[in-house]
Amino acid sequence: MNIIRKVATLGVAAALLVGGTACTKGGGSGQGATKGADGTTEISLWTHNAGNKEELAAITKIVTDYNASQSKYKVKVQAFPQDSYNQSVVAAASSKKLPCILDTDGPNVPNWAWAGYLAPLEGMDETLSKFLPSVVGKYKDKAYAYGYYDVALAMFSRKSVLEASGIRVPTMDKPWTKDEFNQAMAKLKATGKYAYPADFATGSTGEWWPYAYSPMLQSAGGDLINRSDFKSAEGALNGPAAVEWATWFRGLVTNKYIATKSGADPTKDFINGKSAVLYNGSWSASQARKAFKEDLVVMPPVDLGKGPKIGGGSWQWAVSATCGAKEGAMEYMKFAAQDKYVAAVAEATATIPATDAAAAKVKGYEAGGEFDIFRQFSKKYAVVRPETPGYPFIATEFTKTAQDILNGADPKKALDQAVRNIDDNQKSNNYFQ
Amino acid sequence: MTSATTPAPRRLRASFAHQPAKVGWVMLTPALILMIVFLIIPILLTFGLAFTNARLISPEPAKFIGFDNFVRLFGSDTFWKSLRNTVIFAAVIVPVQSGIALVLAMLINAKVRGINFFRTVYFLPVVTSMVVVSMLWLFMYQPNGLINVLLAKVGITGPDWLGNPKTALFAIIVLSIWQAVGMHMVIWLSGLQTIPGELYEAAAIDGANAWEQFRNVTWPGLRQTATFILITITIAAFSLFTQVNIMTQGGPLDSTSTVVFQAVRTGFQQQQTGYASAISLVFFAIVLTVSLLQRYLTRNKEARR
Amino acid sequence: MSVSTVAPVGKRPKKWLGPLLLVLRILLALVFGLPLVFMIVSSFKPDAQIFADLDSVKAFLPVGSLSLENYVGVFERVPFARFLLNSVIVSVVTVVLGLLVNSMAAFGLSRVRFRGQGIVLGIIIATLIVPFETMALPLLWWCNQLPWLDANGLSQGWLDTYQVQIVPFIANAFSIFLFYQYFDSIPRELDEAATVDGANWFQIYWKVVMPLAGPAVATVAILTFLPAWNSYLWPLMVVQSEELRPAMVGIDYFKQLNVSWGQIMAYASIITVPVLAVFISFQRAFISSIASSGVKG
C-alpha cells in the first residue's frame, strides 16, 4: 500500500527528529532558574510581546544591558503572543511552572499575589514612589509589580465637525456633562452623516469591557464592588447610580448614538469619517493625528456626575514566588526600573511613561507636548480596577452584564444578577481572606 | 437486496483461531493504555472535581462540597439557555448538514470533466482552521459586511447578524455547516463509491427512475456511512465552542452560549474549576443519553430490515 | 467495476440535466470558495483598502494596490519556518502513530473474537462524546505529573515538549471506529486463505487487511491530521518555548492593539495552504483507491 509506506517513511523521519530535540529541558534547580556550566544562573523571563517587535526589542535591550552589567545571572527572554498570554501563564501557574520574572496585566496582580504566585518587591519603595500610582500593582499594601507605562482612555473628535454642529469642545477644566454629551449626540445624529455618531469600540472583547466602561459606571457614582472591604457588590453595582448609568448606556444604543457592536477597527472607522466621536485608548492618537493633524481634538471622557474617570493599570512586571533565584530576579527588577528604560519602553509602545523623568525624555510626553494630555488624564482621572483577588471573576461578570444591557436586558435585573453572582463568588472564596 | 457491506458469516471466524483472545488484547493494548491515560483518567478527574470547590488559582486546597455545584448549576439561567442553544444547534445541524453533504456527494459522484476541481473547492473550508474561519466570517457578518452587501443587491436589508439575539445562533449555524459539510460530503462519497455500479444498471433495466434508484440502491448501500455521519455530526454539534468563543462570546443575551462554552468560560476565565467540572459532567450525561438513544434507534432499523 | 453516477444509467440522461448540474456545481463552488478567495485576495491588500473594499464585489477581486507587504510583515513578526516545522512534526507523528495504534485496535476488535470485545468497543465509542475542551484542565494537570524517559534520563512533567502535543492524541475513538467499520467490510475469506498459507494474526493484519484498507487509512489520516494541525487551545496551555510552538498559535501574534488585518489574512493563507496540499495528495486515495483495491463488487 503506497500511502502507508510514504507516510511511514515520513513518520519515522519525524519521530527521529522528535527524539533528537524533544524534552531537552528537564529538572533544573528551583523553578524558572537553572545553573549553567560556567557558574552563571539563568533566569527565565516571560513577556506578552511576541509579534509586537517594538516593545519586545525594548525589553530585550534591558535584558541585554542587565546581562552585560554583571556576570552572576543571565536573564533569558521568552515571548508569548498577547492575545493568549494570560491563558498560557495561568496554565503554567496551575501546574507550578512559572518563570522567575514575568509581566502580567495589572488587574490580575492581586489575584496572583493572593494565590501565592508572586513575591512582594523588596527594597523598591523609594524607586516606586516616583511611578504613576496606577502602574504599581499592589495587594494588601505591598507592591508586587510595576509597569513602565500606562495607557489612557479619551474621546477623540474633530474640531471642524463639532463646530459645524455648534458643539462645544470639552476641556479638562470643563468636561462634557451627561446632558451635554447627549445633546451633542443628538446634533451629530441630526446631520444624517453618521449611522452612529459615536464609536465606543463596543466590538472589542475581553478585558476591554471592564477597562473602558467601568470608569463610566464610576463616574456615575457606582462601582464594581464596595471598595471598603471588597466583600460585596451590593449597592455599588446595582444601586441607583449604577442603574442610572446602565439606563444611559442602553439609551446610547436605542437612540442609535453608538453601535451595539462596532467594527473591527474603530480607529480606522473614525479616520474614514464613519464616526464623529471615538472613545478609545491613547493608542489611537498617533494614527488619528496623522490623519487629521490640528483638526483632531483629544477630550476627557464624559462627566456622569463624579467627574470623568478612566481605567488605570496596564502591563506590569513581577517576580514569581517560586523563583529559584529570587535575589537575581529582584536585582533585575531594580536595574530595569531606571528612567531610561521606562522611557525606552514607553516610547516603543507609544504609551504614557510611568515616571516624570522618563516623560521628559519621550517626545510628545514632555510637559506641554502633544500627548502630555494623556499623562494628565492618567494622573487626574485614573481609577485602578478593584484590588481584590476576585477581580478576574468580576471582570467576566461585568463584561457579560454590560453586553447584555446594550443588547436590551433590563438594567436593574441584569445588574442584580451580576451582584448575586459576584457576591456568591466572593463568599465561596471566604472573601479571599 | 444485499448491501455490499454485509459482514461475512461469523462461523468463518472461529474456524481458524489459534489464540484469539491473547492476540486481540495485544492488538488492543497500545490504544487502550493511551486512552486510559489520556482520556479515562482526565474524565475521572473531572468527575471528582465536580464535587469540590477547586479553583484554578487558589492558595486553599479544594474541599468536598457534595452536590453544591449541581444545585447552583440547575438554578442558573445561563445554563438552561446554553443547554437550549446547544440542543437547537444540534437539532438543526444534524439533519441539515448531513442532507446537504449527501446532495453534494451525489453532485460530485460523477465522471465529468473538472469534477476534481469542484470536489476540492467544496472541501476547502474543512481544511481551513475553525479559528481562521470564525475570524473570516466575523468580517462577513458585520452589519455592512459582505453578506449584507450581497443581500442588499437583491433588495434585502440584512440584520446585524451576530449582534441580534434573534439571528446570532442562526448565523453560527450557517457558518458551521459551511465549514464542516465538505468533510461529510467526502465520507458520503466514499460510501457511495462502495456501491457497485452493476446494481444501478440492474435497477435501470428494471425501469427504476432516479428516485427509485436512490431509495432502493443508493440509500440501503449507505446505511453504515449514515450511522457514522449521524454520530460524528451529533457529537461535533454538541461540542460547539470555537465559533462561539471567537465570534460572540455567548452573547448577545446568552443567545449563542453553549454548554461547552459555559464550561470553558467558567473554568478558565472565572477560574472555577470545580463548577466547570460539574458542567462538564452534566454535559457528558446528556450526550451519552442522546448517543445511546441514537444507537438504539439505528439498531432498531437494522433489525427490522 | 464502473463508478456509479447520479444520472440514471440505463436511460438516456435528459439533455438539460448536465448543464443544470454544472450551474449548480458552480454556484456551490462560489459559496464555498468565495470567503477563502476574500481571505487570499485581502492578504495582498493594505488594511485601508480591505476595509474600503468590504462593501462591494471588490472584496473578492485582486484590484487596487497589491503587494507582498503583508507577507513580509508576517515573516518579520513570526518565526514561521520554525512554527511550520513544529506543526509538521506534531501532525505527521500523530497521524502515523495514530494510524498504527488505532488500526491495530480495530483489527483486534473486528477480526479476532474474544470475550469482553463488545464491552471494550462500547466504552471506546462512548468516549467519543467527550469534547476536548471540557477535559483540558484536568489533562493539563495530569500531563504535568507524568514521567518521561529519554536520552537525558528520567524527568517529570510533560509541559513544554513535543510529546505533550502528540501522545495524548494518538489513540482516537473515531479512528478506531472508522477502521472497525471498514475492516468489517473486508471479506473474511481472505484471512482464512492467508491462514491456510501459514500466516499468523499479525501477518494477516499487516499483509492482508491493511493493504486493502486504503480508503480507511486516508480518511483516518485526514481526520487525525486536521485537528492536529489546527490545534490551538492545547498548545497555548502546554507549550511555553517559542521553539516548540505550532503554526496555529502564531495567529495570536497578529492580534495586537493595532491589528493588521492584512497580515492576519496573509498568515491565515499560508497556514492553510500546506493542509490543502495534504488533502489534494490524499484525496485520490480517499476517493478512488476503492475501485482498484478489488474489495467490492
Candidates A111, A114, A263; nearest CB to B142: A263
The CA distance from A343 to A334, in Å, is 15
Across the strands, what pairs with A46? Answer: A78, A102
pLDDT tens, N- to C-terminus, chain C (297 residues): 344 444 444 445 567 778 888 899 999 999 999 888 999 999 999 988 888 887 777 888 888 889 999 999 899 888 999 999 999 999 999 999 999 999 999 998 888 777 788 888 888 888 888 888 888 888 988 888 888 887 777 887 888 899 999 999 999 998 998 888 888 878 888 888 888 888 888 888 888 888 888 878 888 888 899 899 999 889 988 898 889 999 988 888 887 666 788 898 999 999 988 888 777 777 666 655 433 333 332
What's the DSSP call for residue A432? G
Instruction: Tally Cβ neighbours within 10 Å of residue C155.
Output: 17
- Whole-number Å distance between alpha carbons of A373 and A381: 11
Q: Which residues of B touch A (CB under 8 A)?
A: 53, 55-60, 72, 77, 138-139, 142-143, 160, 162-163, 165, 249-254, 265, 268-272
Chain C: list its partners (3+ Cβ pairs within 8 Å).
Answer: A, B
Residue closest to C138 by CA, chosen among B284, A91, B266 = A91
Least confidently predicted of A82-91, A224-233, B162-171: A82-91
Subunit partners of chain B (3 or more CB pairs within 8 A): A, C
Give Cβ neighbours of residue B75 (< 8 Å, ≥ 6 apart): none
B56 to chain A: which residues are within 8 Å by CB? 90, 94
Nearest-angstrom CA–CA distance, A207 and A392 = 9
Number of CB pairs < 8 Å for B and C? 319
Q: Which of A11, A26, A84 sits opposite C155 (nearest CB)?
A: A26
Tell me, what DSSP letter sits at residue B196?
-
Q: SS3 breakdown of chain C: % helix, strand, coil, rounded to 5?
A: 70, 5, 25
Query: Range with the lowest mean pLDDT among A64-78, B13-27, B61-75?
Result: B13-27
Tell me: pLDDT of A76 over 70: yes
- Residue B127 is given by DSSP the state H
B168 CB contacts (<8 Å, ≥6 apart)? B161, B162, B248, B251, B252, B255, B256
pLDDT of residue B267: 86
Mean pLDDT over all residues of chain A?
88
Residue A143 exposure: Cα atoms within 13 Å on the Cβ side: 22
User: In the beta sheet, which residues pair with residue C150?
Assistant: C153
Sequence-separated (6 or more) residues with CB below 8 Å from residue B301 = none
Smallest Cα distance from B55 to chain A, Å: 9
Q: What is the CA radius of gyration of chain A?
A: 24
Chain A closest CA to B292's CA: distance in Å? 34
Q: What's the pLDDT tens digit per position in A269-299?
A: 899 999 999 999 998 898 899 999 999 999 9
- What sign results for the dihedral spanned by CA atoms A390, A394, A397, A400? negative
Torsion sign over Cα A418, A212, B246, B166: positive
**Grid cell listed for B123:** 472541501
Please tell me the number of Cα atoms within 13 Å of B262 on its side-chain side: 27
pLDDT tens digit string along B258-280? 999 999 888 888 888 899 999 99
Given a contact cutoff of 8 angstroms between Cβ atoms, the answer to whether A131 and A145 are in contact is no
Measure the CA–CA gap between C101 and A253, rounded to whole angstroms: 56
Residue C205 sits at the chain B interface (C-beta within 8 Å): yes
- pLDDT interval class at B18 (50, 70, 90): low
User: Which position has the higher pLDDT, A338 or B1?
Assistant: A338
Task: Tell me how many degrees the CA angle A43-A46-A48 measures, rounded to the nearest 5.
Answer: 165
Q: How far apart are CA B273 and CA B263, in angstroms?
A: 9
- The number of beta carbons lying within 10 Å of the beta carbon of residue C260 is 22
Tracing cell 454535559 back to the chain, one arrives at B283
ipTM above 0.95, yes or no: no
Task: Output the DSSP codes for A179-240.
Answer: HHHHHHHHHHHHTT--SSSEE--TT--TTHHHHHHHHHHHHTT--SS-TTTSS--TTTTTSH
Query: Which chains have 3 or more CB–CB distances shorter than 8 Å to chain A?
Result: B, C
- Residues of A with CB below 8 A from B139's CB? 264
> Which of the residues B11, B29, B34, B262 would you substitute to probe the C interface, choosing the one with the greatest number of C C-beta atoms within 10 Å?
B34
Residue A29 pLDDT level (bands cut at 50, 70, 90): very low
Residue A150 vs residues A47, A132, A174, A281, A383: alpha-carbon distances, Å? 16, 8, 24, 10, 12
pLDDT at B252: 86
Q: What would the pLDDT profile of A95-112 be if each residue is shown by its tens digit?
A: 788 999 999 988 889 888
pLDDT at B113: 79
- Cα–Cα distance for residue pair A378/A282, rounded to 1 Å: 10
Query: Count of CB atoms within 10 A of residue C47's CB?
Result: 20
In angstroms, the separation between the Cα of residue B236 and the nearest Cα of chain C is 8
Residue of C251, C94, C230 whose CA lies nearest to C162: C94
Classify the phi-psi angles of C267: left when phi > 0, otherwise alpha if psi is within -120 to 50, otherwise beta.
alpha
* CA-based nearest residue to B104, from B93, B85, B118: B118
- For residue C195, list chain B residues with Cβ-Cβ distance below 8 A: 16
**Of C206, C265, C291, C289, the residue nearest C2 (C-alpha):** C291
Q: Identify the residue with better confidence: A87 or A74.
A: A74
What is the helix (H) or strand (E) element at residue A106, kind and residue range?
none
What average pLDDT score do residues A335-344 get? 95
Tell me the whole-structure pTM to 2 decimals. 0.83
Residue B53 has its nearest CB partner, among A117, A392, A428, at A428
* Phi and psi torsions of A297, nearest 5°: -120, 135
Inspect the interface and report whether the beta carbons of A407 and B138 lie closer than 8 Å.
Answer: no
Chain A contact set for B272 (CB, 8 A): 393, 425
Contact A261 B165 (CB under 8 A): no
Partners of A392 on chain B (C-beta within 8 Å) are 269-271
- Coil, strand, or helix at residue A366? coil
How far apart are the C-alpha atoms of B31 and B25, rounded to whole Å?
A: 10
Residue A297 pairs in a beta bridge with A157
pLDDT digits (tens, 9 = 90+) for B217-239: 888 888 878 887 888 888 889 98
Cell numbers for A35, please give them.
545553573
Are the C-beta atoms of residues A277 and A259 closer than 8 Å to each other? Answer: no
